[in-house]
A and B are shown apart, each in its own frame.
Chain A
Amino acid sequence: MTEPVNRAASGQFPSTGGAPTVECRGLTKRYGAHTALDSVDLTTGPGEFIALLGPNGAGKSTLIKLLAGVLTPDGGSIQFGEGVAAGVIHQDLGLFDDMSVAENLFIGNVPSRGLISFSEEDRRARELLEFVGLSEVNPITLVRDLSLGERALIATAKLWSQGAGLIIVDEVTASLPRAEASWLVEHLRTAARSGATVMMVTHRFEDVLGNVDRYVVVVDGKIAMDRADDGVTRDYLVDVISSGRNQVEVGRRDTSGRAPGDIVVELEEARVNKIGPLSLTLREGEITGVSGSSVSGFHDVGYLVAGALHARQGRVTTRRHTKVTCLPAHRDADGTFPDLTVEFNMSVGNSNRWRRWGLINLSKMRASIAAAAHDLNVIPRDTDAVITTLSGGNQQKALLGRVIADDPGCVVLCEPTRGVDVATRREIYAFVRKLADNACAVMVVSSDMEDLEALADRIVVIDDNGHVETWIEPEDVADFCNARSALG
């Protein structure tokens, strides 16, 4: 099964002497007409520490889901090594905060039969903590008393104890401050050296650069680069990653020589959660970008403007008789009404538009929503389809339709292209620009630099502490976005 040919073909991982933990050949996954993953070959060995990189929507998460068995491939094969399983650690980690480290490690996997032997559990827990380099942590500590980085390592150890030879760490560092992220990466490497294959998925190059054994870059559903860490530089990675990005025409809006529009929303020294104090004005026809690290929770800026959050201090003033709507960042948790139709999803918050004498004219509403869905190119055309049967991109377009249905004076779009393919991304950009051209005040809050580069007239950058780091003026937006595009 382990023909040398495959190994040679798959890149140069350090010879650790073990059989491959996983071997993918010709792995393909399609969503309708869109090919998310196109004939990918990937082989990993035990003890390897791999960085899986790539722009949004390139197919990383599809690859992870295929490896984890959440999705089934449309073509190709995945062959795990003997006794190897894959486990994924997501941002929420899946730990029980009110239980001890040892209890968390052995949930569903208690080491003794019958009565639980605490001494045995303690011994096994210490072994596992050693594996991730956390020997200073006492197994009886409650998980809620640990730092985020330590919790991520507990989750790693848990997967290892459950027999996961391939551990995928998905964007866990994104919510960590830089120092803690690099501490976590060091420890993950320890875990890899103890025999696991650790695959880290991240947008932040700093976290992995020079710390991993091998880089795998996915662009547009294909492996664009698969190389050992032999002096790979940051610039080189940026080049490879951005190679597929030229497909999106990122022509900038020409806003020069246009008089500033009326002020629609104004923030004065506003504070909420970690954000603030923040002062800014949103004007008609202007697209304001907001960028920052997820540590600060910079989406809260958008929710503050939209009124979904209320300022703890300071003031948020909205022009009178102006409707502000919001596309939330997390589509599944905060955006869709999962068991209801596309029509219902698009009508929520807007149905007064079709109201007469207190009653909604349902047939009129149906017709105009169907027309809006058609304009937005939502597939399928049938607005009676339950929204969760649509692809992510089409769900996103339907939600965009909801946001703009009632002619709002201000629109806040958080992560408008998250989990969306290139073609849809282009449609969304064109749509948002048209919105601004029709005198709507638009705010785009995104961790995706491509969004900001394509849309924003100016950008406010929020630092890790929630303060304003800097304002990027129109002429500098392109340079700023290029420089930051890899940071996530």
Chain B
Amino acid sequence: MTNNAIEANHASSGSSGSASKPPSKRRSFQVAGATPTELISLFGSPVLFLLIFVVFYLWLGESFYNPNQRMLEFSQAIPATIITLGVVVILAVGQFDLSVAYNASLSAYLVIGLNYRNDIPMWASILITLAFASFVGFSNGILVTKFRINAFITTLGVGGVLLGLARVYSEGGQGLNPSPTDHPLPEWFHAFLGDFQNTAPTPVVIVVAVMLIAALLHTINGRAIPSTVSKPIRAAILLVIAAIALLAVFGSGIVNFVSVNVVIFLVLATLLWIVMTYTTFGRNLYAVGSNPRAAGYAGVNSSRYTLSAFTITGLLAGVAGIMLAATQQAAIQGAADGFLLPAYSAAFLSTVLISRGRFHIWGAVIGALCLTYVASGLVVGGVAYTWADVFNGGVLIAAVALSSVVRRTAR
């Protein structure tokens, strides 16, 4: 298409701007208002993942598209994905937290340990654990904002301390195994927070699914598609995505397998998305992440927002730990230590999946699911599960590389 075609597109879409790009920036070749580089950087990774899943379908068929099995994996992936949500918050504010996984591990041990060893009721144990995990995040924030220690060093050190504390508290890594006769865990703890077989009522699932698809389309419309793209093409893209999503949810029959903990997780993610997108607090987090000095001059207190972000990240690590403990129904030292890498991979994937160059809650959730399912597809296909971290590390690098391309084309 030539430039004339683009102007025609503009006219038809009724947008008033005649020059939506600075005139000094000449663009020679464009498709639907975007250059090929832009298109690849915008839709490259979603299309790539889609292709992989199509290949899986042709290659593995029913053995991969097995709702029960995939829901088990979703349920298992929840703790790591909640850590990812925390990572998204901390990356949005322009900081780093390497202590999240250790924080989650210690929380997972603590929530059962308090109940098992000290006979503290489970609800109180959960609250204490959440308070502790938030306090860890808050301490990270104080060290970074007040003592001005680099976030990498701070959270690496705090992570080391947490790892050590977990070893001390677990007396050198001994597990705690509550059983019906020995300090039994309350039934609801596993049923609501960790049991993938405890499926939620279908109407609830349908409502949640429809709401999520609406939110997804809304986000893609607002954040992923450049505003230069004309209306019919925009509508076509959204329709295709809606069709894929509806097919994935209703065609696969997965609605009958969605467990309560997955619904709880989705509600949590939705709340976080609303906070990040529709509140002044969330927007200010992104502002501080983009330019803390400018935020200060615009009346946004960078330190306070950085501190809040660290605290939220800590809190989410605590939630992740609790849900992990509920899944395992036992206290195992270091249970979440390995989640650091997949959490960062998914968080960086969020910048290239459904939102251009911005760390985004839904992008991270989708990213985490894609990572999980691609890995499990490979396992189903016969690749040893030990390769998962190699894959996660590779995706992290690829996502960061691609997102920097996105940022560059945005300039």
Chain A residues engaging chain B, CB cutoff 8 angstroms: 30-33, 303, 306-308, 325-326, 328, 333-340, 344, 347-349, 351-352, 355, 358-360, 362, 379-382, 384-386, 388-391, 402
Instruction: Check A325 against B411 for contact (C-beta < 8 Å).
Output: no
Chain A residues whose C-beta falls within 8 Å of the C-beta of B21 in the assembled complex: 380, 385, 389
Closest approach, in angstroms, between the C-beta of A80 and any C-beta of chain B?
25
The smallest beta-carbon distance between A245 and chain B, in angstroms, is 26
What are the interface flags for B14-42 relative to A under an 8 Å C-beta threshold, 1 for contact and 0 otherwise? Answer: 01111111111100000000000000000
Check if A348 sits within 8 Å of B24, measured CB to CB: no
Nearest A residue to B218, CB-CB: A362
Is B299 located at the chain interface by the 8 A CB criterion? yes
**Complex interface: stretch among B252-260, B279-287, B374-382:** B279-287
Do residues B17 and A380 form an inter-chain contact, with CB atoms below 8 A? yes
CB B298 to nearest CB in A, in angstroms, measures 4
The CA of A382 and the CA of B21, in the complex, are separated in Å by 8
Asked if residues A335 and B294 are in contact (CB atoms below 8 Å), the reply is yes
CB atoms of A391 and B22 under 8 A apart:
yes
Complex alpha-carbon distance, A347 and B295, angstroms: 11
Q: How many residues of B contact A (CB 8 A)?
A: 37
Given contacts A32-B24, A333-B293, A382-B228, 14 further A-B contacts (CB under 8 A): A306-B297, A326-B297, A335-B294, A339-B407, A347-B283, A349-B300, A351-B280, A351-B283, A352-B280, A379-B19, A382-B15, A385-B20, A389-B22, A389-B411
CA distance A393 to B227 in the complex (A): 23
Q: Which residues on A sit within 8 Å (CB–CB) of B228?
A: 382
Q: Which of B20, B277, B291, B407 contacts A380 (CB 8 A)?
A: B20
B147 CB-CB contact with A under 8 Å: no
Report the tally of A-B residue pairs with Cβ distances under 8 A.
106
Least Cβ–Cβ distance between B63 and chain A, in angstroms: 43
Q: Which residues of B contact A328 (CB under 8 A)?
A: 294, 297
Tell me the bound Cα distance from A369 to B304 in angstroms. 26
| B260-279 contact mask (Cβ, 8 Å, vs A): 1 or 0 | 00000000000000100111
Contact between A359 and B22, CB atoms less than 8 A apart: no
Q: Are B296 and A308 in contact (CB under 8 A)?
A: yes
Q: Which residues of B contact A303 (CB under 8 A)?
A: 297
Q: Are A325 and B280 in contact (CB under 8 A)?
A: no
Instruction: Specify which of A337, A359, A386 is in contact with B287 (CB 8 Å cutoff).
Output: A337
Closest B residue to A325 by beta carbon equals B299
Q: What CA separation (Å) do A217 and B9 show in the bound complex?
A: 46
- Tell me which of A347, A349, A352, A360 has the highest count of chain B C-beta atoms within 10 A of its own C-beta: A349
Most interface-central of B290, B294, B296 (chain A CB within 10 A): B294
Q: In the assembly, what is the distance between CA of A382 and CA of B16, in Å?
A: 8
Question: Given contacts A328-B294, A336-B291, A337-B287, is CB(A359)–CB(B274) below 8 Å?
Answer: yes
- In the complex the two chains form, is A344's CB within 8 Å of B283's CB? yes
CB atoms of B290 and A339 under 8 A apart: yes
Name 9 interchain pairs, CB-CB below 8 A, sorted by A. Answer: A334-B291, A337-B295, A340-B286, A348-B283, A348-B298, A348-B300, A352-B280, A362-B278, A391-B22
Name the distance in Å between A182's Cβ and chain B's nearest Cβ: 33
Residue of A nearest to B407 (CB): A339
Minimal Cβ-Cβ distance residue in A for B280: A351
Closest 7 A/B residue pairs (Cβ): A381-B17, A337-B290, A384-B227, A349-B298, A382-B20, A328-B297, A359-B278
Distance, CA A382 to CA B283, complexed state (A):
20
* CB closest chain-B residue, reference A335: B294
- Report yes or no: A380 in contact with B283, Cβ–Cβ below 8 A: no
Closest-CB distance, A216 to chain B (whole angstroms)? 26
Given contact pairs A334-B294, A336-B294, A382 touches B17 in the complex (Cβ within 8 A): yes
